[in-house]
Copies of this chain bind each other. A is one copy, B any other.
Amino acid sequence: MAVDLSYPEHVQDLVTRTEAFVRGEVLPLEDAHRGDIAAAGGDAARATLQAAAKAAGVFAPHAPVEYGGQGLGMADRAPVFEAAGYSLFGPVALNIAAPDEGNVHMLAHIADDEQKRRFLAPLAAGDVRSAFAMTEPAPGAGADPNALTTRAEKVSGGWKINGRKHFITGADGAGFFIIMARTFGEPGQRGGATMFLAPAASGGLKVGRHIDTLDKSMIGGHCEVDFEDLFVPDSAVLGEVDQGFAYAQVRLGPARMTHVMRWLGAARRGHDTAVRYVAAREGFGSKLGDLGMIQKMVADNEIDIAATRALLVRACWELDQGSHAADATSIAKTFAAEAIFRIVDRSVQMCGGLGVSEDLPLARLSREVRPFRIYDGPSEVHRWAIAKRAIGAARKAAAARGVAR
């Protein structure tokens, strides 16, 4: 019953071990392959890294204990995930990369026992990967989920799904898909979405081309996926019919925050790289790190790191209290995505020509972090939601005061 920002000892210990593991066993692989997970071997590299993480006792910090995980809450995940994110391959190693991590979280909350056994258990163990099939090409569901066009039609014993998704992270090689499809209403209307579980091997589910993007560290690419009369049985419904958007909220808030945790680790690596560089490098008759304009960049990075962490802790604590924390997670996500970009961009700038080269990890980090300002809700959409709530509250208060305006 008083402010406390300390972490339990077992969490602190896990952070320490995760840091050591990442520096010792993960960063070398990332650097050898310039952060390109496909070049590093894709799922084979993943298997090796996950075995090492298990050996180091740092595997699956987020997964429920009964599924082999360490059962950490959101606030406790923050420093561990940040330590993992210090390498672009760290999250894969710990089995906390997107989208698997968010899917574990959602399945743990919504799936029934049989679904847990069949999908959650192997996912938590790292035996399979998964994909979350939500985003659609125009004019479908993008930043605006209400535009959902993929449809599931009730048929005897199950559902028949038709539609096209794109930017489906991890689709290539995923063992199963969580599919968001419309079971009610028309595109543009709120509500009426349902989530379905479908093995990748299902007939009518086709993973298409990889959409090449700035980032290369996510295993399985960002793919186009088509559903052509994909049949799934009634038991494939995740949670209840027509409740898909509500369930997506269960996934979204925490997933936003774990993204922040991981990318904050990456940004911190960028910052550390730059600080080491300017601490040592000479120029203009002094060390670069003794020049005021460089010091300004270092300090701005430190401020951005501290503010991101502080907002993250706040949002995670609210989530841990059982709140949806819609405001706190939108605020933390928006600030963090922009701060993380700034941190890496300043780090590039501090290192000059080397900063834009592959001789340092900074060029790669600058590519990797850019998309975060767009996915999981572009900054503009979050700002719109934040403002709507604030202005709506003001209107409600004005109405309550009986003020005619």
Residues on B with C-beta less than 8 A from A135 are: 353
A372 to chain B, nearest CB (A): 10
Decide: A379 and B275 in contact? CB cutoff 8 A: no
A41 at interface by CB-CB < 8 Å: no
Which residue of the partner chain B has the closest CB to A405?
A: B280
Contact with B along A386-398 (1 / 0, CB 8 A): 1110110011011
Which residue of the partner chain B has the closest CB to A305?
A: B331
Which residue of the partner chain B has the closest CB to A287?
A: B391
Residues on B with C-beta less than 8 A from A357 are: 167, 211-213, 222
Decide: A214 and B275 in contact? CB cutoff 8 A: no
Contact with B along A360-388 (1 / 0, CB 8 A): 00010011001101110011101110111
Contact with B along A69-87 (1 / 0, CB 8 A): 0000001100000000000
Decide: B7 and A4 in contact? CB cutoff 8 A: no
Which chain A residues in 75-108 approach chain B with CB under 8 Å?
A: 75-76
Docked pose: A272 CA to B294 CA in angstroms? 25
A273 to chain B, nearest CB (A): 10
A113 at interface by CB-CB < 8 Å: no
Cβ contact of A374, chosen from B188, B300, B331, B352, cutoff 8 A: B352
A71 to chain B, nearest CB (A): 13
Number of copies of chain A assembled together: 4
Decide: A384 and B293 in contact? CB cutoff 8 A: yes
Docked pose: A384 CA to B222 CA in angstroms? 35
Decide: A5 and B3 in contact? CB cutoff 8 A: yes
Which chain A residues in 195-215 approach chain B with CB under 8 Å?
A: 211-215
- Asked, given contacts A299-B384, A314-B5, A383-B299, whether A142 binds B283 with beta carbons under 8 Å apart, the answer is yes
A348 at interface by CB-CB < 8 Å: yes
Residues on B with C-beta less than 8 A from A313 are: 3, 5, 310, 314
Decide: A386 and B303 in contact? CB cutoff 8 A: yes
Which residue of the partner chain B has the closest CB to A147?
A: B283
Scoring A281, A295, A309, A359 by chain B CB atoms within 10 A of each residue's CB, the highest score goes to A295
A6 at interface by CB-CB < 8 Å: yes
- Asked, given contacts A293-B384, A310-B314, A356-B371, whether A298 binds B390 with beta carbons under 8 Å apart, the answer is yes
Cβ contact of A213, chosen from B335, B358, B397, cutoff 8 A: B358
Scoring A290, A310, A332, A349 by chain B CB atoms within 10 A of each residue's CB, the highest score goes to A310
Cβ contact of A349, chosen from B284, B303, B331, B379, cutoff 8 A: B379
Decide: B370 and A348 in contact? CB cutoff 8 A: yes
A219 at interface by CB-CB < 8 Å: no
A289 at interface by CB-CB < 8 Å: yes
Decide: A386 and B302 in contact? CB cutoff 8 A: yes
A32 at interface by CB-CB < 8 Å: no
Contact with B along A1-24 (1 / 0, CB 8 A): 111111111000000000000000
A292 to chain B, nearest CB (A): 2
Which chain A residues in 281-337 approach chain B with CB under 8 Å?
A: 281-285, 289-296, 298-300, 302-303, 306-307, 309-311, 313-314, 316-317, 320, 327-328, 331-332, 334-335
> Beyond the given A2-B7, A3-B316, A214-B367, could you list 5 further A-B residue pairs with CB under 8 A, ordered by the A residue number?
A1-B9, A3-B320, A293-B293, A294-B387, A295-B388
